[in-house]
Amino acid sequence: MRVLIVAKTRRGGGACVGGVTLEGRSVRLVFAGALAGDHAGLEYEVGEVWEIESSPDPHIVPPHVENILVYSGRRLKRVRDAGEIIRRLMPSVMGGPDPLFDGLLQALPSGCLYIAERTGIPSRSTLFWVPDQPLERDTDARRIRYRYPTEDGGRTLTFVGFQEPVEVIPAGTLLRVSLAHWWRPPERPDEELRCHGQLSGWFLEEKPLPGAAPGSGHQPFQQPRAEPAPVPELATARALLKQVFGFAEFLPQQHAVVTRILQRRDTLVILPTGGGKSLCYQLPALLLDGLTVVVSPLIALMQDQVHQLHELAVRAAFLNSSLSHREYLSAARNVRGGEARILYVAPETLLRPETLLLLEESRLACLAVDEAHCISEWGHDFRPEYRQLEQVRQRFPEAVCVALTATATPRVRRDIRRLLGIEAAGEITGSFNRPNLFLGVQARSDGLGQTLTFLEQHRGQAGIVYCSTRKQVDQLAAELAARDWPVLPYHAGLDSESRRRNQERFIHDDDVVMVATIAFGMGINKSNVRFILHYNLPRDLEGYYQEIGRAGRDGLPADCLLLHSRADAVTIRRFIDQGADSERSGRQARLEAMIRYAEAAGCRRIPLLAYFGEAHEGGCGQCDRCRAGDGRTDQVDVTEAARNFLTCVERTGESFGPVRIIDVLRGSRSQRVLSRGHDRLPVHGVGREFSVREWRELAKQFIEQGLVKQDLEFGGLRLSGRARAVLNGERVFVRRGREPAGVRTGSDSQATHDSGLFELLRRKRRELADQGGLPAYIIFSDRTLVEMARRLPRTAEEFLAINGVGEARLANYGEGFLEVIRAHGASRHSGGSATVGGSETQPTRLKTVRRRCEEIGEAFTVGETIDQLAARFGVKRGTILQHLEQHVVSGGRLDAGRVLAASALPVEQRAPVLALFKRHGLDRLAPVFEELGGRVAYDELRLLRIWFRCGEAGSRNSTLAKSRPLIEGM
Ligand code: ADP
Ligand code: ZN
């Protein structure tokens, strides 16, 4: 039987679908086997003609005689003029409502129309009506009602259609009217049974749908399109990247994706979490002529993304089931008025006819499908609604489609492409490696103790501890809370309100530790999650990779630790054995791969990436195996040297070649250096630990790796995009054997920034976030704050040069943050440290030099000996002493007793040295050395001078002052 679909009404999660047969009979489609609330019938749309297999419904209750049972259906075509066809096929009632339903309608005092069982049952429950007066929407009613005007206050029908409600339905509009099911108020059981009158849809003025030819279906979207047009917008795209988003360079693959979208070529983007997928559609959205719709299954995330866009002064809106009707209308109005450029929608909302209508009116230019793996049954998170995106594609063939996901096996990728009609060449895949995640595994012996030690290393940071069971979550959370850790639990056993609250706090606060089952994390966009601890062995590497992927989205280092236990593996195997036979072998194999990773002898990244089909050459330098030296790595971390080098290139104006850069780094005072004032740069002399030869080798490698580009005519070096990434946290490695002797291997040093200032900036961000009711990371990412603390911008212009600062953020927050930076600089200046000069660049210098010494000073304070430090940093004992002294000179504290304990000088020889310090002053050791006839080594002298300085500092510091008698006594 052929049926023209004429109405679709809301009914639970499913749809009530009305049709007209081509013989002119009204039918209501009941889907065989579907229960009320199932998503049955959603694919049927008003205006479509379907061929259906059906039989009469055996359970017909008059007046609902139109029901037919549908077994299967096939869409034939879509018609332009459904209203016209209905008028031809069906008789309609003209005039007022009285003759509707055989004249059996009655009105409640409110005007609400119904029929009562007692007074007679009409022959049918659906009909078409063309009113002779306009119907107005009742505004104060809880449900939407339309009122036909009469002298006694009017007659109303409840609106149950899927269409977007209008304020007034003009007279002469074709309406479909139906009767609801039999009903009586539950609190009045004696009352008569009634069927209320409903308005289930209308046919306002008909307008052709794009792409619909009369009598034919839509053109299939797979048809080849015209050759991609040249893209004039690309230059603008690059400008907008900075202006709006604040970024100087595209991340890997972003450029390729943006180009394709602007060329209107459908694309599948596969990038790891943190790979910058959102920008791939957000940027083109600003340039495309029309609306960009982003389909996302994560309702919590939509609001977050929209906030984020508002922060960038990009107009965006979202539609999902969390909106009240009023909010829905206001969002829809924004979209229709062309104010919003980007609209986020949940898939089920997108499929509602009124949403589709809205998109038609707003000229859909780009359909972005986020979490695109949800479309595939083979994906780990299949969502049936996603399947229907196929039809949305058909309905909007001119909109370019971009699908994005972080996880997709080859099979899932093929599925996504097939369903969305994306050509194989349209697949763009980035590396799955996340170099900023440090990967560690420990055998779980004392789980709680290991957890506490790990957390202690991350105090003040946000992170997640994953446990395998709810019980374990509750226990561990309680243990941690008892020790005053800011923990929150999360698992499916908590009520939804607690879950929502805990998740919100985690997102908003910067230091919360979430103890959770794997139920937590999907859709968490928080960019500054700094660690992930797995208390139990995960079932497979997919899950594990997804969970650790939630850390370090901002690209700054993040720490992942897995507590491995064979007992967990036994438990998982038991589950697998109890599970479905068909899945057993696959699950077992995945568990085995997980165990192999946990017990890997070499670099952890090799098996991890291999699992995702990616080869990783050599050791990564960022896992526990590599750091312990058994990663069989041939890579050595030279990040610190690279940062100094790049900073030097930057601060000398990107115009000098390697020779001059090396001169400055090694502290040359040659005329060439002095004449340009390069001796006053903070990086002047910070690279003395390497010889000229070693620096040359490094420079060569930096050029080879594309960190700097050399001008072919003049030889000057310029920073590349990757250089900026390195300055902001990305690490640099060179082949073993090519690293300079003094280089620290497996270092975990932080980016060269002022950590004190970083804290102040974080505080400022917190304050602004609280004022705006936003998560802190939405204002600026940690990475952007780190860059501020490193580059110390003083003017609006310098502030705008920071990666992550665009024009909107400069306008909103620039002054606030600049104030913090200036005040901090001023306090450093007046802080009275001997080495601070008056020049603008001095504070930076102090910080760069101090950074390493601070680290060493702190390590010494917490118990490492000088010899241990020398071994750890791969430098001489004397160098450590220099750092310790620098630490004291710049205001740091050291335990004087421990300093003295490190002295090998017999007690009786110490007093003469101290006497000479008093005579000659502390500036130079040489006169003291000379006067003692060379009997006391320089290192010993320096050690005593440190101790002496501690004593001097002690006059400002009561605990150190206590050690003063010790000194005097000798
Ligand atoms: P994904 O969705 O792939 O997980 P996001 O879109 O959330 O990644 O981006 C991850 C982080 O990278 C965000 O903090 C974002 O601001 C940042 N980012 C995106 N593009 C760039 C870029 N071109 N340069 C620097 N940072 C970027
Ligand atoms: Zn490694």
Tell me the H-state helices in 337-396.
347-350, 353-361, 384-387, 389-395
Closest C-alpha among 919, 937, 823, 834 to residue 877: 937
What Cα–Cα distance (Å) separates residue 11 from each residue in 60, 95, 335, 372? 18, 29, 26, 28
Q: Does the C-beta of 178 come closer than 6 Å to ligand 1?
A: no
Please write the tens of the pLDDT for every residue from 527-540. Answer: 899 999 999 999 98
The answer to whether residues 179 and 63 touch, using CB atoms and an 8 Å cutoff, is yes
The pLDDT value recorded for residue 692 is 87
pLDDT, position 103? 87
Question: What one-character-per-residue DSSP string does 626-662 give?
Answer: HHTT-S---EEE-HHHHHHHHHHHHHTTS---HHHHH
CA atoms of 529 and 553, how far apart (whole Å): 7
Q: How far apart are the CA of 521 and the centre of ligand 1, in A?
A: 18
CA of 607 relative to ligand 2 center, distance in Å: 10
- Per-residue pLDDT tens over the stretch 176-232: 999 988 888 777 777 788 899 999 888 876 443 333 333 333 333 333 344 444 565
- Give me the percent of the chain exceeding a pLDDT of 70: 88
Tokens of 107: 């009105």
Tokens of 589: 């194999």
Name, in order, each residue with C-beta under 8 angstroms of 248's C-beta and a sequence gap of 6 or more: 241, 242, 721, 724, 803
Count Cβ atoms below 10 Å from residue 616 Cβ, excluding itself.
17
pLDDT tens digits, residue range 885-922? Answer: 877 877 778 888 888 888 888 888 888 888 888 888 88
Per-residue confidence (pLDDT) for residue 471, from 0 to 100? 96
| Residues 744-772, mean pLDDT to the nearest whole number | 72
Angle between helices 447-456 and 470-482 (to 10 degrees): 60
849 residue type, one letter: V
| Beta pairing partners, 18 | 7, 28
Neighbouring C-beta atoms of residue 559, cutoff 10 Å: 22
Give the model confidence (pLDDT) of 791-840 as tens digits: 889 888 889 989 999 988 898 899 999 999 998 887 765 543 333 233 33
- Give the global pTM: 0.53
Nearest CA among 534, 540, 547 for reference residue 594: 540
Identity of the amino acid at 218:
H
User: Residue 828: which residues within 8 A CB-CB, separation 6 or more?
Assistant: 836, 843, 846
Percent residues over pLDDT 90 in the chain: 30
| pLDDT at res. 739 | 58
Whose C-alpha lies nearest to ligand 1, atom 20?
Answer: 276
| Count of positions (residues) in the chain | 970
User: Tens digits of per-residue pLDDT, 88-124?
Assistant: 788 888 889 988 998 889 998 889 999 988 888 888 8
Phi, psi of 854 (to 5 degrees): -65, -45
- And the tokens for 822? 């200036």
The predicted pLDDT at position 845 comes to 31
Pocket test for ligand 1, best of 253, 279, 785 (most atoms within 8 A of CB): 279
> For 781, what's the count of Cα atoms within 13 Å in the CB-facing half-sphere?
26
pLDDT at res. 205 = 61
Task: Classify 148 as helix, strand or coil.
Answer: strand
Which range in 1-10, 103-112, 262-271 is most confidently predicted, on average pLDDT? 262-271
Cβ 517 under 6 angstroms from ligand 1: no
Residue 301: nearest ligand to its CA? 1
Q: 3-state class of 909 per DSSP?
A: helix
Q: How many beta carbons lie within 10 A of that of residue 170, not counting itself? A: 13
26: pLDDT strictly greater than 50: yes
| Residue 47 Cβ < 6 Å to ligand 1 | no
Question: CB count, 10 Å around CB of 666?
Answer: 18
Whole-angstrom distance, CA of residue 167 vs CA of residue 499: 39
Neighbours of 849 (CB within 10 A): 19
Say yes or no to pLDDT of 924 above 50. Answer: yes
pLDDT over threshold 60, residue 3: yes
Q: What is the CA radius of gyration of the chain?
A: 36
Indicate if ligand 1 lies below 6 Å from the C-beta of 254: yes
- Cα distance between residue 234 and residue 412, in whole Å: 31
Q: Averaged over 363-368, what is the pLDDT? A: 94
Centre of ligand 2 to C-alpha 696, Å, is: 27
